[in-house]
Amino acid sequence: MILTVTLNTALDLTYRVRSLRPHTSHRVSEVIERPGGKGVNVARVLAALGHEVTVTGFAGGGTGQAVRDGLTAVPRLTDALVPVAGATRRTIAIADELSGDTTQLNEPGPHIAPAEWGAFLDRYEELLSGASAVALCGSLPPGVPVGAYANLVRSARSAGVPVLLDTSGEPLRRGVAARPDLIKPNADELAELTGSHEPLRATQDARRRGAHTVIASLGAQGLLAVTPEGRWRATPPARIPGNPTGAGDSAVAGLLSGLVEQLPWPDRLTRAVALSAATVRAPAAGEFDPAVYEGLRGRVTVTGVAGAA
């Protein structure tokens, strides 16, 4: 079983409009509602790839119940969310059909009481005992300690469970110091962590700070991987138009599934890039277009990067 942790789960709403213009009314052509939050998106992609996956984190209020109801329809996915008094947040994506751009509005999430945080920690320790790998994903809701991910990384390492960390800011900085097996920051998150805007230098610096392996997400330019076994660049064959929301989460699912399947690094990166691009063509985060995915797998370019890892 693969475990994904989403401390700030969400009910994702996607509105499609012909053209998004400030200070005007818009007629929405389509509304898509899905369970969300980064780890939930990762879990749905992993389940679609055929992996048994368990989702934990927090859920509360009417939106939390809508998230849980949505998860029941996903084959191979187990809901282990911890109930809280506050209401789960909503995230709203407004997709502009004319430009292809997406505007994202993210609520902060419910305040987590100390007793609720303690209940989650107990659940997490229980779930680790049956996990083959764990992904710690996304932002922290109010009330959760800023060093939460560092503690969760240490617990996973103590249990002998490989751990992937995908967050940003101070939670990422503290989490990296706990020596996760893998981190997957985007270019901006990596620059904030290291102070360097040169991807290769920044990934090397992130490894020196504690991360065992660093996979830098470079948007349409693909992935840069710096691992103990070597360095690689993986790039899609062309820029894929569509909604990029959730593309990074699909890349995490590709990397995590490749880890538990013990695939060579080039194969893991190929899967991650193809899944990420296929998600851009899907209607909502946590989904991917299977035809696009299969078509891209043989066209992703993976090249070695010179120098010692």
Q: Which residues are catalytic?
A: 249
Residue 232 phi/psi, 5-degree rounding, is: -145, 150
Residue 3, token pair as written in the block: 């475990």
Which residue type occupies 247? A
284 - beta bridge partners?
none
